[in-house]
Amino acid sequence: MARLNAMTIDVEDYFQVSAFAPYIRREDWPHLPCRIERNMETILSLLDQHGAHATFFTLGWIAERYPDLVRSILAGGHELASHGYDHYRANEQSPQEFRADIRHSKQLLEDLGGQRIRGYRAPSFSIGARNLWALDILHEEGYDYSSSIYPIQHDHYGMPDCPRFRFHPRGHTGILEIPPTTAKLGGRHLPAAGGGYFRLMPYPLSRWLLQRINRVEGESCMFYFHPWEIDPHQPRPAGVNLKSRFRHYVNLARMKGKISTLLRDFHWDRVDRVFLQDDAS
């Protein structure tokens, strides 16, 4: 039987990505054209067509303004989880600010969805060696798992020495961390979990990496992408530097087709059903 993998979507709009923070002020967000509803409709339809379920790490800012999205996620049998309130990176917050953020977003999502929120993903995978205290706060605030530490070397995030597969960073009584999937090749961790890497790499290479993790290592994969990644016609803010433009816009026009093929080639379900069924946390 084919191994089950976890499909995850970080529910945020194009103007909320960390790379655009120097160019778009948060106070301007309410006045910008939102694309989240149409993109989420496309994603939910794709999942339904392929009989797949997913976990949606949702910004409180989005859920508050588009409560019907929350209802659509739950009506489709998907898991609702937290992405914080308004995409402040965890490593740019004090412990007090982080606690207030994750408490507020959790309560908001639970009030809208009527279900307990178990999972959290830090914006831009911004939990690492210098702010592991965030995991203790997540546990204290009632979260069961996090997917916030990326075991790679990156200029904006990453903790390459952490375990590649699910683990308890603070001991077995603490929160479960489920990192985005990486493949170990030549002694290095190669991103295999989605996002810009998935858009950039040829699909056969991505498929081979994920199959290798399933078949050779016997592990389930944690994949992620964003609604704006299937939207090549999104507005383009002025002044964005070359590196950020490349990372954000590369191969957007191909992403929907690649996601559809990925949903066909592998078996996908919610994080809680893939990773938490046999975990004591």
Residue 192 tokens, joined: 């295999």
Q: Quote the tokens at residue 221.
A: 């994969």
Instruction: pLDDT tens for the chain, 281 residues: list them.
Output: 679 999 999 999 999 999 999 999 999 999 999 999 999 999 999 999 999 999 999 999 999 999 999 999 999 999 999 999 999 999 999 999 999 999 999 999 999 999 999 999 999 999 998 999 999 999 999 999 999 998 876 656 657 788 999 999 888 889 999 999 999 887 788 889 898 889 999 999 999 999 999 999 999 999 999 999 999 999 999 999 999 999 999 999 999 999 999 999 999 999 999 999 876 44
Residue 248 to residue 19: CA distance in whole angstroms:
8
The two structure tokens encoding residue 232: 């090549």
Q: Which of 161, 156, 155, 200 is nearest to 182 (CA)?
A: 161
Question: Where are the extended beta strands (E) located within 113-204?
Answer: 119-120, 145-146, 176-177, 182-185, 188-191
Identify the burial level of 107 via C-beta atoms within 10 angstroms of its C-beta, where 0-12 means exposed, 13-18 middle and 19 or more buried: middle
**Beta strands in 23-76, from DSSP E residues, in sequence order:** 55-58
The pLDDT of residue 173 is 83
CATH 3.20.20.70 is the classification of domain 4-275: no
**pLDDT value of position 154:** 60
Q: Where are the domains of the chain?
A: 4-275
pTM of the full structure:
0.96
Q: What is the pLDDT of residue 214?
A: 96
